[in-house]
Structure 1
Amino acid sequence: MPIKLTLIESFDTPLDVPREKLHIEQIPDRKMYLSSNLAASSRLGNHLFELSALLSVSRKLNRIPTFFIQNRHYDQTLMDTDFLIPGLLDHFLIINQSIPDSITHVEFSMKCCTWDNPERLKNYTDQYLHIKGTHFQSWKYFPRMRHELIEYLKTPVNNFTDLPKSNDDNFITCVHIRRTDFVGSGFFVPDETFILEAMKFVKIEGTVICSMSGLIFISEKRDQNMLTVLFGDDIPYIESLLNQTFTVDEGAEKVYSSSISTNQLFYLFQNISSEFFISHNNPSDSILYSSSNCDVVLFTAPHSTFGWWLGFLSKGGQVYYTDIKFVDDNSISSGMFDQDDYYPPHWIPIKHNSFDNKTLIESLK
């Protein structure tokens, strides 16, 4: 006889209040369930990968996606996810207990960042199936869910009064810079020169729009205000970047001045006046802002899951990223990472030009 699974109606219990373990009863039930190990102690970007993938795989297998609240980290995962994208959690059966020993465990998605074909799970007829793997960091798990996931985002309470809005007058490039926990971790952390050159490259290429179908369109943006919003986990470092001078073209320079304010910094290039803003929002609000305002996204740390989602859920869906194949990052050498599985094919990788190892160019896939 199947196991009784108890639905939790809400999950706003304070983290310092332990949950009572529920007893398992035997009752008839013909529904099929799918659950998974989760990297519950990780951050929001990892949660989005795991829950989006689990929902999509469950649909493919005609199973109900199931979430076991095993400890306070799982509680926090639910609260963080619900704060951003409650519509995603609406599809899950949420169980206030640890995983029963009687549930069948299967090895699947054992490598964080490579795609594992869900078709092979169709051979399992067990009513309760639990995946041993975690992370699910591949767009291939949910290839047609981008617009659906955007619809599941909550309506922002934050009006983002300190940041510009994307409209007919404003074209907004969003840049994500991750540093704090990546420094010394084996993940690539770009230096100032790389970040500034990447920003320059994306700004120049901002008139090239890559559609979701892979077609390229040229769109003249000179009649719009070209604005840039910077996101990151090291605000003093970002502010220091905007106090740099670097070459834009031969003989031309962008000079950043911090004498205006720390939130609004200007540069003048040819006849285009552009303006910089630094976001001080929390991760959830940053993604909500991106979904309505980021026409283009650049994330400079290639294995940043938050930068990935900032781009994936962005308004424009046009994303640039540092080509991980040409930087010092241990992801590929570990055998746990496949760039074709991790990055959607229409996203644009950039790297140093091999001739001068300074100028950034689009990397050929």
Structure 2
Amino acid sequence: MIRYNTNNLMSLCVAVGILANIYIVTRLTIGFKILEDFPQIQEFPSRCVIDEDYFLSFVESRRVTELKEKVFLKNNNDKTVQLKLFAFQSAGLGNKLFEIISLLGIANSLQRRPVIDATIPSNIRSLHKSIQPLFPKLVEQFDLKMIPASSVSSHQMNWVKCCIFDDPKKMLNRSEQHLMLNGHYFQSFKYFHHLRSEIREWLAPSKMAKLAAETVLTSELKEDLIICTHIRRGDFQTDGVHQPSDPNFTRAATDFLVKHYQKWHYRTTVVVFGNDVNFSKAVFEDRVSNSSVIPNRTTPPLNFPIPENSPKYSVILPQNSTPENDLAFSRQAPSSTFGWWLSYLAKRSAVVYYRDIRETKDKVINDMNPNDFYPPEWIKLGTRPNGDIFKF
């Protein structure tokens, strides 16, 4: 049996970890000036687990050049800001976008460089798997750095409540070189609304996604008024916090909008996006024009009663949809009842409608100020006691 001295083994592991990170980060470019703070490091996290595969794959997909000597020089006026990136640990793409884009908006407001901690495996994993493949321009907007914890000044902000704006300008006069804003989700358009034009460029869909979006509608439907309805089921049915899309409201709200716009547009087509195609098929069974390509149901039937006085329109259910393709299509739609990000990034002429969250049993309302979450130009829909839909 071979016996090892525990202290020596830990020292060796830490040393290997540091050398591996030095090798990895010296290959980063496009503004990722990671090593400029390295001479300051007094202590390094004593962890032996290095998410090297994700880190190297993330690095290799970028343009790699030799780092110049100035990368290693300290700039006393070069202040940074980080967010905790709570959503990067396990949340969905929409939550991750809120945090990373809020980071960019806050950095702009504070006149600091946006930084993401390169030593946290979940940060690298999310960037590599969720963000960079869809939005390569977005990852060029921040620096990926190793800054020792002893050099970072941490402050609570947007704490506990996900969707209430906490004005970052209160940090404008902070003199510390490196700020960490410790909070949850940062889900308010007010953090980044001043950068909306830039955000549209950073999240621009790829050429392939644009081509896929163009195939959703056949040529004879191109001149129709297009209304997008977005549904969310899946994890919302079981997470104990959110309420999944309600079939009655989904159908009633769509019918309401069709009737409203048919005053000016006789031909109307509804495109239904979401994560439960069988739910969508059941809600719009009498209007779906491509039902033959929908796979057979593997879950219990919805037993949704089809309304008798529904206006005439056709429904398209996109097949094999992805977040990137949904995003690309949203930019073509002139009217939308869509997911938050798809609505925010839709065509500038789009009219966005959303359901009054106070009507639901969604527990997020306890952590939300609707005026901070929904842009003022979006139109809220409500339901009367008799089931009729109305605009506020």
| Pairwise CA distance, 1:45 | 0.7
Letter of the 2:328 partner, please give it. L
Q: Of 352, 355, 358, which residue of structure 2 is paired with 1:319?
A: 352
* Worse-superposed segment, 38-47 or 160-169: 160-169
Encode CA deviations 1:309-351: one digit per residue, 9 max, x unaligned.
0111011431111110121111123xx2111100111111112
Check conservation: 1:36, 1:131, Cα contact below 8 A: yes
Q: Of 334, 339, 362, which residue of structure 2 is paired with 1:295?
A: 334
Distance 2:272 2:121 in 1: 32
Check conservation: 2:281, 2:291, Cα contact below 8 A: no
| Pairwise CA distance, 1:87 | 2.5
Matches within 5 A, 1:337-348: 337-348=368-379
Check conservation: 2:288, 2:316, Cα contact below 8 A: no
Correspondence for 1:239: 281
* Residues matched between the structures, number: 315
Encode CA deviations 1:284-311: one digit per residue, 9 max, x unaligned.
22112212x1222214xxxxxxx10011
- From the two aligned structures, give the one with the greater strand fraction: 1
Distance 2:343 2:107 in 1: 25
Correspondence for 2:173: 123
Q: 1:53 to 1:183 in 2, by over 3 A?
A: same
Check conservation: 1:239, 1:262, Cα contact below 8 A: no
Instruction: Confirm or deny that 1:83 pairs with 2:103.
Output: no
SS of equivalent residue, structure 2 residue 141: coil
Encode CA deviations 1:54-96: one digit per residue, 9 max, x unaligned.
111111111001111344431232232223333232220112x
Normalising by structure 1, report the TM-score. 0.76
Correspondence for 1:220: 264
SS of equivalent residue, structure 2 residue 149: coil
Matches within 5 A, 1:1-365: 8-9=28-29, 17=53, 19=55, 28-30=74-76, 31-38=78-85, 39-40=87-88, 41-79=90-128, 80-95=130-145, 97=146, 100-110=149-159, 111-152=161-202, 153-158=204-209, 159-160=211-212, 162-164=215-217, 169-184=223-238, 185-206=240-261, 220-222=264-266, 225-243=267-285, 255-256=286-287, 261-262=292-293, 274-291=314-331, 293-299=332-338, 307-315=339-347, 316-333=349-366, 336-354=367-385, 356=386, 358-362=387-391, 364=392
SS of equivalent residue, structure 1 residue 9: coil
The gaps in structure 2 that reach 5 residues or longer are: 1-21, 33-49, 57-70, 295-306
Letter of the 1:233 partner, please give it. N
SS of equivalent residue, structure 2 residue 114: strand
Q: 1:273 to 1:325 in 2, by over 3 A?
A: closer
Distance 1:7 1:128 in 2: 23
Check conservation: 2:288, 2:314, Cα contact below 8 A: no
- From the two aligned structures, give the one with the greater helix fraction: 2
Using the aligned pairs only, state the percent identity: 26
Correspondence for 2:304: none
Q: 1:234 to 1:274 in 2, by over 3 A?
A: closer
Q: 1:259 to 1:314 in 2, by over 3 A?
A: closer
Normalising by structure 2, report the TM-score. 0.71
Check conservation: 2:354, 2:380, Cα contact below 8 A: yes
Letter of the 1:186 partner, please give it. V
Encode CA deviations 1:2-58: one digit per residue, 9 max, x unaligned.
xx99783389xx9772659xxxx9953220101110010211111221121111111
| Pairwise CA distance, 1:192 | 1.7
Q: 1:163 to 1:257 in 2, by over 3 A?
A: closer
